[in-house]
Amino acid sequence: MVVASTWHQRALEAMMKRLVSFLGLGPERAPEPFYTETRYQWEGGAPSRKTPLLEAALCELVGDVGALLVLGTREVYGRWIAGAGESPGEGWRPSHPASLFQKYVGRECWFHLVPHGIDEAQRRSIFDTTLSALAPQRLDAAGETEVPTEIVLDITHGFRSQPILGTAAVAFSLAEQTRTGRPIPIRVVYGAFEMRDRETEVAPVWDLTDFVTLSRWNAAIDALTRYGRADDLEDLGRETARRQVARATTPDERATLGVPGRFGALARALADDLALNRWRDLFTKSAPAMKKFLDSEDANGLLRGLPQLRGAVSELRGWVAPLCAEEVLGPSGLRASAALAERYEQLQRFAELAAVLREGLVTHHGLLTGRRGPDPGPGCKVARDGIERAWNEEGQRPPESQREVVRENLNLARGIVDPRNDIEHGGINEQPVASGRLRTTLEDKAKAYRALIQDFAPAAPRSLLSVFVNLSNHPISTWSEEQLRAARDLGCGEPVELEGGMPEVKPQDKTEKVRRQAEDLADRAKAQGAVGAHVAGEPTLSFALVQALRDRGLRCFAATTDRDAEVTARGGETEKRSTFRFKRWREYP
């Protein structure tokens, strides 16, 4: 029984959360208790008891609060925390048993003095103190006995710059947690007293965490596309999924449960396949699975809640789509290997780049000479060994009758062998090459490799291609080279016309008909693989079309131009001609 009791106590202690709160004086002319007594409700749960201090309500609503930390000015200390004649002193100090705080909250808090923030030094002091309150380790000075499992920061009664500096400290602390690998969830809340129900006197507690973590989502997606790392996306997905489970109350909210976690899991599979050269799984499983998710209504739902991430997600989709293939050692796999070589070059993973170039050239040679073997699995190694033997033999004694493309393959292969071997053996040989020269060599070979197979490999399956669809009456054939190049640089794929063309909007058409036309156009664009669109034309259709496209996760752009007008007068008549010159693409706000 003693062992069970001790285990139970440790389990309870391990569940302790930390509540950090900015405390204010209250309205200047209000009588004690200074703040209006109110009940608070969080995430659809039961309302708290009536209290003037949100800290009391949060202790009920959050549950399992271990340490309660309060930050405030000297005046706040004197009103709420101190006993008669006490001064705040340095560091964390416990509230006096006879203080107003303990009277209304019913428990002790640990107080830390912060200045008013009237100059930069004082504002830095507030920031630093808040950071210490959010520290992801046990705070012995504040009476903690265990590391908290969650930290809740209440900014409701923050004074002047305190709420802004508090949320900045949260963002910094979360970034530090990512860097040091000691994650503890931090939530930011605000008690919306001004939104209370006048009859029930119940006010909502708003969870503002998603706004604080938005930059973390953006950085996590950036880490995947720029560095091939999925740790942050995986952690964020799990953390967000846990919060969604806790606060989902409507059918729409429950329908999105698990979506962030699935996003993180797909990112992990993609990153692992990239890092460990699992090309079969990358081309046929993880990359297509990620693209399918990014095209799905689940991803659109996630973006409706976090619309600022549309650009980052669109970039990720354009990054993943070329890696999708139906096979590894066939034509579509060869094309995917060129995209993979480009990815490894961007990620600066030059050992993997050398491996892709070498294996890709073997595959290319086998397809050119009719020696294609089966994909990885039974029989692959024997067939692959035969292709490599022929590749090596022809490379040493190239026959006169070789086609030019085969000769290019073998010439490129000879330039890759030594750099690849040098990297594989860590430069332990008689004449190791300096890293700068190795890098330049591989970048040059990668460019030549992509050019070599560009015309040989057929296009990837149409369903896997990202396109930038033209939803206007200005055909792509009339676009300038500058406009075409800028469209490709948007990261939304190759500019294409909408299959079936654009409808005519007649003056007598009613608004509802135009809305249906917009929905139909958006569905057709999505089915064509569009991730972005050029939207221009009849104003009401364009307005409805932008809304419909965005609901489906597409980015919308307009072409901005300069107009040069030329006016000529002939025989008493004036003729005006306008020439429009493309300047840039502007995304719809």
How confident is the model at residue 566, as a pLDDT? Answer: 63
Percent of the chain with pLDDT over 90: 43
Range with the lowest mean pLDDT among 261-265, 344-348, 351-355, 560-564? 560-564
Q: Which of 495, 510, 578, 507 is nearest to 538 (CA)?
A: 507
pLDDT at residue 266 tops 90: yes
Quote the crossing angle between the two packed helices 297-305 and 287-295, to the nearest 10°: 60
Residue 545 or 236, more confident: 545
pLDDT band at 8 (very low <50, low <70, confident <90, very high): very low
**Is cis: bond before 148, omega within 30 of 0?**
no
Which stretches of 421-554 are assigned E, i.e. beta strand?
467-471, 494-497, 530-535
- DSSP line for 13-75: HHT-EEEEEE-----TTPPTT-SPPBEEE-TT-PPPPPBS-HHHHHHHHH-SEEEEEEEE-HH
pLDDT at residue 458 tops 50: no
How confident is the model at residue 487, as a pLDDT? Answer: 86
pLDDT band at 13 (very low <50, low <70, confident <90, very high): very low
First to last CA, the chain: 65
Q: Which of 552, 445, 542 is nearest to 503 (CA)?
A: 542
Mean pLDDT of 428-455: 87
Residue 162 or 431, more confident: 162
Per the prediction, the chain carries an average pLDDT of 84
Q: Which of 44, 557, 32, 46 is nearest to 314 (CA)?
A: 557
How confident is the model at residue 11, as a pLDDT? Answer: 34
Q: Which one of 2.40.30.30, 3.60.21.10, 3.40.50.10640, 3.30.499.10 gives the CATH number of domain 15-207? A: 3.40.50.10640
Range with the lowest mean pLDDT among 12-16, 302-306, 409-413, 510-514? 12-16
Q: Which of 493, 480, 495 is nearest to 584 (CA)?
A: 480
Mean pLDDT of 195-214: 88
Residue 332 or 403, more confident: 332
pLDDT band at 3 (very low <50, low <70, confident <90, very high): very low
Say how many CA atoms lie within 13 Å of 395 toward its Cβ. 20
Beta-bridge partners for 497: 470
pLDDT at residue 129 tops 70: yes
pLDDT band at 225 (very low <50, low <70, confident <90, very high): very high
Dist CA 26 CA 34 (whole Å)? 5
Percent of the chain with pLDDT over 70: 87
- Structural contact between residues 23 and 76, judged by C-beta atoms closer than 8 angstroms: yes
What is the model's pTM?
0.65
Q: Residue 399: CB partners within 8 Å, gap ≥ 6?
A: none
pLDDT at residue 463 tops 50: no
How confident is the model at residue 323, as a pLDDT? Answer: 95
Output DSSP code: residue 77: I
SS3 content of the chain, % helix, strand, coil (to 5): 55, 15, 30
pLDDT at residue 92 tops 80: yes
Enter the CATH code of domain 466-587.
3.40.50
Output DSSP code: residue 426: T
Residue 566 or 349, more confident: 349
Range with the lowest mean pLDDT among 136-145, 334-343, 391-400, 516-525? 391-400
Given CA atoms 66, 72, 74, 76 in this order, what sign does their dihedral have? Answer: negative
pLDDT per residue over 521-532, tens digit each?
998 888 888 888
pLDDT per residue over 274-290, tens digit each?
999 999 999 999 999 99
For residue 526, give both structure tokens: 């999505």
pLDDT at residue 573 tops 50: yes
pLDDT per residue over 534-546, tens digit each?
999 999 999 999 9
HEC string of 141-181 equals HHCCCCCCCCEEEECCCCCCCHHHHHHHHHHHHHHHHHHHC
pLDDT at residue 254 tops 90: no
- Structural contact between residues 334 and 364, judged by C-beta atoms closer than 8 angstroms: yes
- DSSP line for 335-346: HHHHHHHHHHHH
How confident is the model at residue 192, as a pLDDT? Answer: 92
pLDDT band at 558 (very low <50, low <70, confident <90, very high): very high
Mean pLDDT of 324-352: 92
Residue 320 or 143, more confident: 320
- DSSP line for 259-285: HHHHHHHHHHHHHHHHHTT-HHHIIII
pLDDT band at 579 (very low <50, low <70, confident <90, very high): low
pLDDT per residue over 387-430, tens digit each?
888 888 777 665 555 567 888 888 898 888 888 888 888 888 77
Mean pLDDT of 202-215: 87
How confident is the model at residue 95, as a pLDDT? Answer: 93
| Residue carrying the six token digits 């040069």 | 564
Dist CA 145 CA 235 (whole Å)? 26
- Structural contact between residues 388 and 369, judged by C-beta atoms closer than 8 angstroms: no
Whole-number Cα distances in Å, 481 to 476, 487, 495, 496, 558:
10, 10, 12, 14, 17
How confident is the model at residue 230, as a pLDDT? Answer: 94
